[in-house]
Each structure stands twice: as structure tokens, then as C-alpha cells.
Amino acid sequence: MSKSDDLNLKLANLPELPGCYLYKNDDGQIIYIGKAKSIRKRVRSYFQKTHSDPKTEQLVGQIADLDILVTNSEIDALILESNLIKEHKPRYNIDLKDDKRFPYIKITIGELYPRLFVVRRMASDKAKYFGPYTNAGAMRRTLAVIRRLFPIRSCSLELPSKRKRHVCLDYFIGRCPGCCEDGKTTPEAYRAMIDEVIMFLSGKSKEISGRLRVRMEKLSDEMKFEEAAKLRDQLQAIESVIQKQRAVSHDQIDRDIIAVATEGGDACVALLQVREGNLIGQEHYIVATAGEDNSEVVRNFLPRYYKTAAIYPNEIIIPMEISDSELIEEFLKEKAEHRIHIIVPQRGEKVELIDMALNNAKHNLDLYLAQKSATKTRPHHAVYSLARDLYLKTLPRTMAAFDISNLGKDLAVGSIVFFSDGQPKKSEYRRMRIKSVAGQDDFSMMKEIVGRYLIHLTENQKDYPDLLLIDGGKGQLNAALDAVKEQNIEDLQVASLAKRFEEVYLPGRGEPLSIPRTSSSLKLLQRIRDEAHRFAVTYHRNLRSKRLEESALDKIPGVGKKRKLDLLAAFGSVEGIKNATLEALTATPNIPAHIAKAVYDHFKQATESDESMGKEIDE
């Protein structure tokens, strides 16, 4: 059964059940993953109509096979789709480029005296998680504020403990209430503080402020002025944090505001977190769009983000209508255990919040694209190491490496490979036959190819490389320097790398440099040198093969250029012709019987001659 027949059979037997479908190309690679309420209807719709969307039309043209995964409900299909996309990263799906392990703040509320620290994964335990945070710096500043406001223990002691312990320095500087020593605090008092930390991380700063004020006044009435003063200081610190938060909403509803900015194949999703009417944070995610519009970006983003979210708002404000909004709301309800409304505002305060989120999305996208552009043009770190280790005056952003391949008296060749910012640039590779040197004189050959290369650059008004790398030792280096001198080029940096001990020779230095073998600069030199050697050997091998084929067939009377091509086309190589039977040669198109006999006899005589020579050597 052919692939197309197999695909048609699968299309004819699709179930009318919810689930996910995985499209594959001819190589068996997953190129698209989707979910559907009815797999049969959704998948068959791809093949039963012409699509106006070029991306979908291109996708359908590449589908060679499909797999399906049936689920119990459409919500299960939505979750499965998100997990499969994250695992396989298909070409035609939207992909979160920053989809890595973002940090969370974890509070171990399952312990008698909970701790607070940063983790990269949410575990199925009794802990409370907050995040994920795309801005690790902002997260750590939040942690610093929390530790300044709340004396949470930072040790890893297992408490309570049968072993008698004494408080450490943290207790005396007010960073811990003394959980490890009896009589310093109680689990109830410590848990009340942890509850306030949770409210603070949830954006409930005003609620904390109200609770602290009530406790402070109660302690004051009980004439516990020292404890009341501590709460007063804590209250003032929290209220200073509240004042720094920008009020963006008149109501007290917790909401997330989402907007998308797009340029080319990249998009940025900005998410503003508003709690109790105050803007408390902003996260952003870079997305590879694969040609989808913004509504599809948002539709894919929501389940992927809120699947691992630690805090859920009451409302999610988005800039446009999306498909599956009711399904996503149902999914969010299961995750958050309360109703979350997805709202598309038309006017007023919420539209202004969307505009604010959009400005953040545009800014972060511009920053990402600038960083992306800078990364493309930034030299590899090994280039900087090379400049340091070779004492170069100029950073070797462009390098040309030279090698000679010469296994006999003739057919000597030279190769030049070109690297830019530590990466090969094959459009600048060059190769040449040695013309002026007879015999095996590597030094003269190196001088010739370096000189001819420099002349080529001069005649074509091209810039000289920042560094010429010569394969060989001191002799090859001096030969290259002679070529540079003859062209009257000044300040051209030249070095050579000897293969035996991987020693680097520099002009004017009697002893070679010995760069550590683990150095990135030596590895870069070796990579360039080896590439030059590969390029030279490949060229030399091709020339020898060509000469062998030409010489072997040229000796046969009646075999001209056209008949050579006919024979090579029929048998693939000279070796194939040599091993062919007389019948096969006679049956070759455009080859007369007498020419076929001449070819057969020629190679038969050559084989007998080789065998007799072998016998003489053996004897």
C-alpha cells in the first residue's frame, strides 16, 4: 500500500470523537498538531476544500501521514494539544521561543515552619507556588522586599527537631523569629505571617495593611508597645510598597491584561497583572507565529500559560475575539476552581489597559529583535580568545585558512576557506591548481597560493582578511610572509598551526606558542585548519578521479568524448565499465559491437597485466 493510499484509508476511518491530530511529512516528522471536538470533521476539512490561507495550503501540501489521539473531552484535547506542541515543536504551530523553565517562588506551607525559595519546576506537593516569572531580576527584587518585610526563616533545618538548638545571627538582626529555639515563636504566629506573605505575592497588599493595622492597635491597647512598634514599622514599609504601585483600575477586581505585537515571524505577548486595582507586575513571552494572526496567537497562548500558572485572576482582558473562548474558560475554571471571564473590551478603562499592554509588547518585541540582530553579528567568544592568545592587534572577525594537497609529482592543489565571526562562509571558499611549482615543494606551493589569493582580492577590490592561517610550521609561515611582502601589504596578521604538536607560529617569534588544548581559541584554529584540509583533499581527489577516468578511456581506439559519456552514463564509472561483460557492453546504446569488443579487450588485458605483476611481486 502506498503512502497516499494509507493516508486515504486513515481519513476514511477517523472517529467522531474529541482528541488531537498530528500531521507528518514524507520524512515522518510531525509538522502540525491540532485539537478538535470531532477529529473526523476537523481533519477531513483540511482535505475537502481550497484554503485561502497560504500557510494552511502549504501545510496540506506537505501532509503525508497522520496520527490521532482520542481524549475523553474537548478540554482534555486542549491540554494534550498544549503538551504535545511543547514536546515536539512542530514547524507549523505557534511556538513560545522562551518556553523554558521560568522560575517560581515556592512556599513550603506543608512544613510546620514554612520556607520560601526559588524553583524551576512546580511539583505535586503541598507547597504554594507563585509565577512563572519571565523577569528573574524583578522576581529577586520581590524576594528582597519580602525578606525585608517578613522575617521568614532561610535555613534548611527540619523543624521541629528533638535536638536542642539555639537561634543564629538571623534572629538577632530581625531576619528570623527564632523557629529553631523553644519559646521564641509559635507555629500559629509564624503561619499568620506566612499567610500575609501569600497575600503580598497575590497582590493583596491593602488587605495585609488592614490586618496589620488591627493587630497593631490591639497590641497598643494591651500596652505591648515594643511589639506594636515593630508592626508599625512593617505597616509603613508595606504602605510604601503600595504607594509605588500604580493604580490603573477603579474597581478591586483581579485581572490579567493581554496584548500582542507582531513583526515578521516573531510576536511578543505582554501580560499585565492587576490586583486590587493596582498594576503589580508585567511578564512577556516571545512567540514564533508561523504566519498566524494575533487572535490565533492569543488562543494558543492562554492554555499554555495558565496550565502552569500559580495565581489566577477573576478576569482576562484580551484585545480581540478568539476561537474556543468558552472552552478555554471551562479549562480555566477547572484549574483555578473559580469562574474566570475572558473579556474583549470595546471602550473605557479596560481599552486603556489593553493599550498599555500593547505598548509593553511593542517595546519588548523591539528589544528582542535588536538583541536577535546583535547576536547574528556578534563574533563568537572564541574569536575574542584567539585575539588574546595570539596577541593580535585586530580582532580576527574574518579569517582565511590555506592548505596544500600534493600526493605525487603533479596534480598539486591549494585550498582557501573563509570564516566570518567564527563561522564558515562558503561563498568565499577558493581552490586552485598549483601552476609555478614543479615537484613536491610545499613552501613554494604555499607562497604561490597565498600570493595568488592576495592578488585576487586586490584585483576585485575586496578587503583582506583580519588573519591568514597557514597549515604547517615555521617554513610554511615564512613562505606565506614572503608572498605578503611581495604584494606590499602592511599590517596583515599571519599565523600558522603545525599539526603534529598543535603549535602556533607567529612572525618574529622564534619559539612556537603552546595554547592549552582545552582553549576555545585552539579549537577554533583546529576547526578552520581541518576545514581547509578537507576542502583541499576533496578537490585533489576529484581531480585524480577525473584524470583516471579520462586516461583509462582515452587509450581505447574509437572511444571519443561522446562514447565516453555514453559508457559512463550506462555503467556509472570506469570501474563499472571495467567489470562489465561483453554482452552488457554490446547492449549499451550508441556503442557499436566492435567498439564494445575493443573496450572489453582493453580492460581484460589490463587486468591480466596487473595479475602477472602481482605474481612477480609475490614470487
3-class SS string, 369-385: HHHHHHHHHCCCHHHHH
Same domain, 430 and 524: yes
| 38, 44 contact by CB (below 8 A) | no
| 277, 357 contact by CB (below 8 A) | no
Q: Examine residue 365 and state whether it is found in any structural domain, yes or no.
A: yes
Last residue of a domain, one of 520, 542, 564: 542
Distance between CA atoms of residues 271 and 268, nearest Å: 10
| 525, 467 contact by CB (below 8 A) | no
Q: Examine residue 422 and state whether it is found in any structural domain, yes or no.
A: yes
- Predicted confidence at residue 258, as pLDDT, reads 94
Residue 611, pLDDT above cutoff 50: no
CA within 13 Å, CB half, 2: 3
Q: Cα 368 to chain center, whole Å?
A: 14
Residue 192, pLDDT above cutoff 90: no
Same domain, 39 and 119: no
Distance between CA atoms of residues 504 and 389, nearest Å: 10
Angle at which helices 381-389 and 520-554 pack, to 10 degrees? 100
Q: Examine residue 547 and state whether it is found in any structural domain, yes or no.
A: no
- Predicted confidence at residue 97, as pLDDT, reads 62
Same domain, 312 and 400: no
Same domain, 187 and 216: yes
| Average pLDDT of every residue of the chain | 82
Q: Which three cell numbers stand for residue 492?
A: 596583515
Residue in the structure block whose three cell numbers are 574509437 = 558
Strand 104-107 and strand 128-130: the pairing is antiparallel
CATH number for the domain harbouring residue 55: 3.40.1440.10
Same domain, 75 and 40: yes
| 256, 67 contact by CB (below 8 A) | no
Same domain, 111 and 216: yes
Same domain, 459 and 537: yes
- Predicted confidence at residue 606, as pLDDT, reads 62
| 51, 64 contact by CB (below 8 A) | no
**Span 236-292, pLDDT tens digits:** 766 665 555 555 556 778 889 999 998 888 889 999 888 777 777 778 888 887 677
Percent with pLDDT over 70 in the chain: 88
At 422, the amino acid letter reads G
Name which of 30-44, 64-78, 201-215, 530-544 the model is least confident about.
Answer: 201-215
Please give the average per-residue pLDDT across 157-178, as a whole number: 85
Q: Examine residue 550 and state whether it is found in any structural domain, yes or no.
A: no
Q: Work out the end-to-end distance of the chain between its first and last CA atoms, rounded to an integer number of angstroms.
A: 60
The residue that leads in pLDDT, 335 or 207, is: 335
- Write the burial class of residue 487 (CB in 10 Å: 0-12 exposed, 13-18 middle, 19+ buried): middle
Give the Cα-Cα-Cα angle 265, 24, 45 (nearest 5 degrees). 85
Kindly indicate the confidence band of residue 99, based on its pLDDT and cuts at 50, 70 and 90.
very low
Kindly indicate the confidence band of residue 485, based on its pLDDT and cuts at 50, 70 and 90.
very high
The residue that leads in pLDDT, 52 or 339, is: 339
Phi/psi at 446 (5° precision): -65, -40
Q: Examine residue 98 and state whether it is found in any structural domain, yes or no.
A: no
Name which of 90-99, 140-149, 572-581, 586-595 the model is least confident about.
Answer: 90-99
CATH number for the domain harbouring residue 571: 1.10.150.20
Q: Give the DSSP letter string of 289-335.
A: -TT--HHHHHHHHHHHHHTS-S---SEEE-SS--TTHHHHHHHHHHH
Please give the average per-residue pLDDT across 396-412, as a whole number: 81
Same domain, 392 and 416: yes
Backbone angle region of 40, left / alpha / beta, with phi > 0 → left and psi within -120 to 50 → alpha: alpha
Please give the average per-residue pLDDT across 514-538, as a whole number: 88
Sign of the C-alpha dihedral, residues 53, 55, 58, 60? Answer: negative
Residue span of the structural domain in which 413 resides:
382-542
Residue 356, pLDDT above cutoff 90: no
CB atoms within 10 A of CB 582: 14
Same domain, 193 and 126: yes
As for how many domains the chain has, the answer is 5
DSSP structure class, residue 110: T
Q: Examine residue 235 and state whether it is found in any structural domain, yes or no.
A: yes
- Predicted confidence at residue 418, as pLDDT, reads 95
**391: nearest Cα among 484, 479, 504:** 504
Q: Examine residue 548 and state whether it is found in any structural domain, yes or no.
A: no
Last residue of a domain, one of 342, 357, 375: 375
Residue 375, pLDDT above cutoff 70: no
Same domain, 109 and 243: yes
Kindly indicate the confidence band of residue 315, based on its pLDDT and cuts at 50, 70 and 90.
very high
Residues shown for the chain = 619
Q: Which three cell numbers stand for residue 328?
A: 478555554
At 1, the amino acid letter reads M
Cα-trace Rg, the chain: 37
Residue 215, pLDDT above cutoff 60: yes
| 400, 417 contact by CB (below 8 A) | yes
Residue 161, pLDDT above cutoff 90: no
The percent of the chain in helix, strand and coil, each rounded to the nearest 5, is 45, 15, 35
Q: Cα 525 to chain center, whole Å?
A: 25
Last residue of a domain, one of 499, 516, 542: 542
- Predicted confidence at residue 371, as pLDDT, reads 72
Distance between CA atoms of residues 56 and 58, nearest Å: 5
CB atoms within 10 A of CB 274: 26
Percent with pLDDT over 90 in the chain: 18
CATH number for the domain harbouring residue 314: 3.30.420
Q: Examine residue 224 and state whether it is found in any structural domain, yes or no.
A: yes
CATH number for the domain harbouring residue 531: 3.30.420.340
CB atoms within 10 A of CB 227: 14
- Predicted confidence at residue 101, as pLDDT, reads 62
Same domain, 225 and 113: yes
**Could you give the 3-state DSSP secondary structure of residue 135?**
coil
CB atoms within 10 A of CB 423: 9
Strand 423-424 and strand 413-420: the pairing is antiparallel
Please give the average per-residue pLDDT across 142-170, as a whole number: 84
Measure Cα distances from 548 to 386, 444, 541, 575 in Å. 42, 27, 10, 10
Q: Give the DSSP letter string of 468-486.
A: EEEESSHHHHHHHHHHHHH
Kindly indicate the confidence band of residue 105, based on its pLDDT and cuts at 50, 70 and 90.
confident
Same domain, 15 and 40: yes
